[in-house]
Structures are given as C-alpha cells and as structure tokens.
Amino acid sequence: MSQNLFDLKDKVAIITGSGRGLGKILAKRLAELGAKIVVCDSLREEANQTAREITARGEIAISTYVDVALRSSCEDLFKFAIAELGSIDVLVNNAGIDIIKPAETIAEDEWKRIIDVNLQGCFNCSQLAAIEMMKQGSGGSIINISSIASVVGIKGLVAYSAAKGGINQLTRVMAVEWASKNIRVNAIAPGYLENIMDGADIEHERSEKQQQIMTFTPMGRRGKLEELVGPVVFLASDASSYVTGTVLFVDGGYTAT
C-alpha cells in the first residue's frame, strides 16, 4: 500500500494557469504519475503547447482556454473536462496575476482585476469542482496556490496580499464545509521562486529586492519550481487522505523568521 500512496493513475486533474511557469511544471509532473491532465489558461496557444508536450510522451492531456475571473468561462472549462474525461478528481487553482504598486496609487480597475483573477477565480473553480465531486460521490482534492504574502506584509502587494489572504480563509471554510463529502481543500503558500510572475519582473530586477529575499529567507535562495511538485503531489494523492484545511508554506523558512 505504501508504494501506491503517491500514485495518481487515472485521476483527472484540472490545473489552471498551466500554459507556462509553475502550472506547466505541475501539469507535466502529475501526468508522469498517471494523472489525466486538463491544461487550461488564458493563453490559449501556451495551453495547447503544454498539452502537446504531455501527449508526445504517451501521457493523457487535453487543453482549453479559460479566464478564471469569468464564471461562464469556468463553467465552460468544467463542461469540457467532464465531456472529454468523465470526472474531476483534482483541482489545482494556480492561475494568478500581480501588479506591484503602493497602496495609495493602485487604481480601482487594477485592484478589481487582481481580486477577480486570484480570489474570485479560485472560488469559481473550487465551487464548480466541488459540485462535480459531490455528483460523482467519490470526493476529491482541491489545492489552492496561495503565497507568503497572505501572512507577511510586503510592500507594493496590497491587492495581491488581500487576494492570497482570502484564499487561505476560503481554503479553511471550504475544507470544513466539504469534509463530510470527502472533498479535501488545502493550500500551498510558496515563498520567492526563481520564476517571476507577470507584473513583477521590474521589481525583481532590483538588486535591493534580491538582497531582501536572500536576507530574509533562511535557506538563502529562491525556490525552484520543481520544489513545489512534491507538496502538490502529496496533497493530490492518498498520501494526504487525512489532511484538509491546511496552508502549507513552502518558502525556505521565510515565514519562520
């Protein structure tokens, strides 16, 4: 039994924002462990390319467009996944954007877009996934990608931090509400990664920013995208069958200081 704890064979996994970056890495690694992957992104061609790379290895993946901020787009995503693969077992809410601005200068439309994608998008997909999992009667795992910014004050991240803090609490409440349905809901909160999110590249080019990361991360480096794979696989698999409502910080010790 212990050899099969991390096996994802034939589980259907939707990974939002999987056209590139962390989402792409997760899609490819979960496919290697036997999952059937629904690649989805607002970048249509990038999503298609990720799926092509997976299927070229003989694994199963389909791809589609999604704007997680739009309820109708999320509904189309889940209809597509069910029609093509028949069920939903794992959802990874990875899609996210960032705008780095001081709190006094961020515009209303910028605030709204970050909240709509990062927080509303997480709820849209989680709710739709849970509804399908309840219909199936077999439960499932929902994994939300949060951030150390959900609990640490970081300059310029007022909207992003609000959204990620909301994700942590969404995770806890949904876990409590859906536990009786065998639907587990957890979050992973990464620290600073080598991959830079869209909207953050200029800030992270500053030598002062790099020095701050090195100083406050006890391990003294940024995380590699591959270092998020193990935590996601753990939460997606039977290895975490008694784990729900947790926020797992994968941050090189940043939040421990």
**Is there a catalytic annotation at residue 242?**
no
Which residue is listed with tokens 């500053």? 206
Residues 65, 160, 192, 242: which is the catalytic one? 160
| Residue burial 205-227, b: 16+ Cβ < 10 Å; e: rest | eeeebeeebeebbeeeebbebeb
185, containing H or E segment: strand 183-190
Count the helix, strand and coil residues of the chain and give each as a percent rounded to the nearest 5.
50, 15, 35
Question: With contact defined as beta carbons under 8 Å apart, do 257 and 218 qualify?
Answer: yes
183-190 vs 140-145, strand pairing mode: parallel
Give the pairing type, strands 36-41 and 61-65: parallel
Q: Which residues are catalytic?
A: 160
